Amino acid sequence: MKQYFRIDHRILFLIGYIFYLFTPLIVGYFNFFDGYPGIELYQGFFKQISENKIITYLLITLSWLPAFYIGHFIFKLCKPYKRSLQLFSKNSDSSNMPLIAVVLFLVLVIFVLLGRGSLFGGYATYDANVRGKFSTLLVIYDFFLVYQLITKQKISILLIAGCTLTAFFLLTMGGRMYVFQTFLTLLVFKTSFARKKWNLKQICFILAVGLFVGSALGVWRQNLTFNLSKASYSFFAEPVFTWFSTSTFLIDNKIPLVNFPANFLTSFFNLVPNTFFSLRQYVISTQDMGFITQSPLGADSVWSTFVINFGSIGSFFFMMATGFVLNFLRHNSENSRFGAVYYIMVCGLLPFQFFRDGFYIINKQLFFNFLLLPGLIFLVLRFVQYSPIKNQP
């Protein structure tokens, strides 16, 4: 029986598109969650946006959806046929998974010892450096876990245990997004390569449990008692507060038709690890490009990021290119194990992080955490495995 991706970039993009780009408008117009933390500030900004700017926002936003699917369709014209997905055979790289699991677990132990003061404290003991380390480690765990899941071999229990513990510790620090990305990567796997796939009822049940747990954790990290209203606020506050950058952009700036993407291009400097030397001072922010935005809670809406970098017309074509590239990645996943893992990881990023983090973070995820770092780990292991010193009699 042939099998394909049941949940792919098209569905996941649509979920994030609706959640992050339309939820803030609904909350703003109907004044939902009045009295909850941060809502008064949000409404203060929202009411300053002119009606013409809102209409322009809607026109640009609505243009992105066909642009994305046009890009997807253009690649489909180049490669009209899909290949049935199947698990990959065991190879030398997948055979090294037990060793990788040991190394990652040792890193986890070190991170726990160094960051023990931030564990189990939610936002009360929030430390961005500690949580950032656990978030990156979880991404690496996700990559190698998926790499093993799509391979015909026994799964390392230590790899599963380490991934689970990393996700758990991250949750105790109030971090939900990267844990939810882990869940999404498993969801994509269980509806594509897996021998026993989740059916619609299982998918709906898992999604419901995930949303409930995520909302409950959001209530907990704010030290509130749980109820449906607070859980809803915890869930929908994510896109609303992410939209701060867009609301403040619409208030204070003219919308360019096209623009030179200085922020996008210089964001690649962040691929260089700070352990060696920092190039952060060379990254041009959206504010450095002459635009006024505010992100009091740290997240940057994809809308303001794309429009500032490319303009209203340029963002249409960038979104088209995004749809094209994602369909290419899906096609590549049909016959490349590394490509399949990469595509599944990108799918996990799409509904949430893609819409709420700037290029500075997104490009590091896409090109360093998902690509260069795993590739470097495999390269080192191959060097050790085939080194002349090891093979000396």
pLDDT tens readout for residues 139-167: 999 999 999 999 999 899 999 999 999 99
Q: 294, 245 in Cβ contact below 8 A?
A: yes
Range with lowest mean pLDDT among 116-120, 223-227, 304-308: 223-227
Q: Note the pLDDT of residue 222.
A: 65
Q: Note the pLDDT of residue 44.
A: 94
* CA nearest neighbour of 49 among 337, 256, 351, 253: 253
Q: 278, 360 in Cβ contact below 8 A?
A: no
Across the range 85-114, mean pLDDT stands at 91
Q: 12, 352 in Cβ contact below 8 A?
A: no
Across the range 54-69, mean pLDDT stands at 97
* CA nearest neighbour of 64 among 347, 236, 224, 302: 302
- Cβ burial, residue 144 (10 Å; 0-12/13-18/19+): buried
Could you tell me the CA-to-CA distances from 119 to 129, 219, 295 in Å, in that order?
13, 17, 26
Of the chain, the end-to-end C-alpha distance in Å amounts to 49
Whether residue 87 has pLDDT greater than 90 = yes
Confidence class of residue 189 from pLDDT cuts 50, 70 and 90?
very high
Q: Where are the domains of the chain?
A: 9-382
The torsion of the CA quartet 179, 182, 183, 184, rounded to 10 degrees, works out to 120
Query: What phi, psi does 325 have (nearest 5°)?
Result: -65, -40
Confidence class of residue 223 from pLDDT cuts 50, 70 and 90?
low
Specify the DSSP class assigned to residue 367: I
Could you tell me the CA-to-CA distances from 115 to 112, 130, 169, 179, 369 in Å, in that order?
5, 6, 10, 18, 21
For the segment 259-286, what is each residue's pLDDT rounded down to a tens digit? Answer: 999 999 999 998 887 666 777 888 899 9
What 3-state DSSP class applies to 217? helix
Confidence class of residue 224 from pLDDT cuts 50, 70 and 90?
low
Report for 38-47, 123-132, 224-233, 310-319: range of highest mean pLDDT? 310-319
Structure tokens at 281: 């001072």
How many Å apart are CA 278 and CA 298, to the nearest integer?
A: 21
Whether residue 221 has pLDDT greater than 60 = yes
For the segment 5-14, what is each residue's pLDDT rounded down to a tens digit? Answer: 999 999 999 9
For the segment 362-376, what is each residue's pLDDT rounded down to a tens digit? Answer: 999 999 999 999 999
* CA nearest neighbour of 188 among 11, 45, 385: 11
The conformational region for residue 227 under phi > 0 = left, psi -120 to 50 = alpha, else beta, is beta
Whether residue 247 has pLDDT greater than 90 = yes
Question: What is the CA 191 to chain-centroid distance, rounded?
Answer: 19
SS (H, E, C) 347-359: HHHCCCHHHHCCH
What 3-state DSSP class applies to 151? strand
Query: What phi, psi does 156 have (nearest 5°)?
Result: -70, 120
Greatest Cα pair distance, the chain, in angstroms, is 78
For the segment 280-328, what is each residue's pLDDT rounded down to a tens digit? Answer: 888 899 999 999 998 887 789 999 999 999 999 999 999 999 999 999 9
- Cβ burial, residue 191 (10 Å; 0-12/13-18/19+): buried
Q: Note the pLDDT of residue 123.
A: 58
Question: What is the CA 215 to chain-centroid distance, rounded?
Answer: 18
Whether residue 393 has pLDDT greater than 50 = no
What 3-state DSSP class applies to 383? helix
Q: Note the pLDDT of residue 184.
A: 93
In one-letter notation, the amino acid at residue 80 is P
